[in-house]
Structure 1
Amino acid sequence: MIPSWLAIGIATLAVPLILNRFISSQDFRWFKHLRRPDWLTFEGAIPLIWTIIFIFGAWSAYNVWEANPGKAFTWVLMGFYLLVEIVISLYTLVMCKTRSLKVGTIIGGTGFFLGAILAVIVSSISITAFWLLVPYLLWSPIGTFVTWQMMQLNPINA
């Protein structure tokens, strides 16, 4: 039997790795050539920020699993964690494939609301699991706002 922390860790790594394989170099070039807000001085730190958020999300899921391992509702919550991760991971792929910052903004906002719902639900199971989701809940609106600002700076790509 695979330990829960390993299964959750593998799922957490697999989703973005699989989805990011569908991003072509043309997609990436399109995104890199977009204008960004002048105040976006921390863009180089964004991959590290997302890495931390994914680690904390996996750790949160692990805490929820360990609180009630194998229960039907716990499996439903694991599916909810997976849904939130898929939405987060689809942001870049779908936005780049559609060449639409508006689509990215919508996906970013959707991910935030799904994450907020998940955080509220897990708060009654594990307060640690809740607090591990807080970095995502703080970062997601910033990322969504950056995308919205980029819409204003790149109206052709909105």
Structure 2
Amino acid sequence: MSRSWILPVIVAAIAAIVIAVLGGTITQLGPWYEGLSKPEWTPPRPAFPLVWTIIFMLAAFAGVTAWRAAPNTRVADTVVGLFALNGFLNILWSFLFFRLQRPDWAFAELVFLWVSIAVLVAYCGRYSRFAGLLLVPYLAWVSVAGALNWQVVQLNGPFG
């Protein structure tokens, strides 16, 4: 299936930027967050935006690569749908953790986010091994975030 690369790159870049901006807007590192007890191994604050920028760039590139490698429209549409679901879950985690100040709910939701990334790695990797590999850092970072989220729940709960 022949596909132009320009439109998917533009769409993926816009989607990554929108998700990053929404997530960043929702994330409030104010007094509540600063007052939480966090494990000693918590990454330094500047690491988060840097890592997320790299992850969103890799994910956008993976999405375009998998979309272009799709053998038919159904597979291409599934790739787009999986990325859309993942973007929603990513934003939802930030909303639950930072806006609602419910790390416990965010941790429960993070399980779905993690599974959505694992599905993306497997599904995209089925059509482009390279696309699947580009998503592995995302899975690794969310695994670290999950461990950090769990520790925040353990150190500060109960919430609500």
Distance (whole Å) between structure 1 residues aligned to residue 27 and residue 80 of structure 2: 30
The 5 Å alignment of 1:108-147 reads: 108-147=110-149
1:85-142 Cα offsets, whole Å, 9 max, x none, are 2211221112223221111112222111111012111111001100000001111111
Code of the aligned partner of 2:16: T
Structure 1 residues 14-93: aligned runs within 5 Å = 14-18=18-22, 20-21=24-25, 23=26, 28-68=30-70, 71-93=73-95
Q: Which structure 2 residue ranges, 5 or more long, are not aligned? A: none
- Tell me how far 1:41 sits from its aligned partner: 4.3
Query: Residue 17 of structure 2 is aligned with which of 13, 18, 22?
Result: 13
> Which runs of 4 or more aligned residues in structure 1 lie more than 3 Å from their structure 2 counterparts after TM superposition?
18-21
On the 8 A contact 2:23/2:90 being kept in 1, the answer is no
Using the TM superposition, give the Cα deviation of residue 16 of structure 1 relative to its aligned residue in structure 2, in angstroms.
3.3
Structure 2 residue identity aligned to 1:32: E
Which one-letter code corresponds to 2:93 in the other structure?
Answer: Y
- What SS is found at the alignment partner of 2:135? helix
| Alignment: residue pair count | 156
Give the aligned CA root-mean-square deviation in angstroms: 2.3
The verdict on how the C-alpha distance between 1:156 and 1:113 changes in structure 2, with shifts beyond 3 A counting, is: same
| Unaligned runs of at least 5 residues, structure 1 | none
Q: TM-score, normalised by structure 1?
A: 0.86
Q: Secondary structure at the match of 2:61?
A: helix
Distance (Å, rounded) in 2 between the aligned partners of 1:45 and 1:109: 22
Inter-CA distance 78–150: structure 2 relative to 1 (3 Å threshold): same
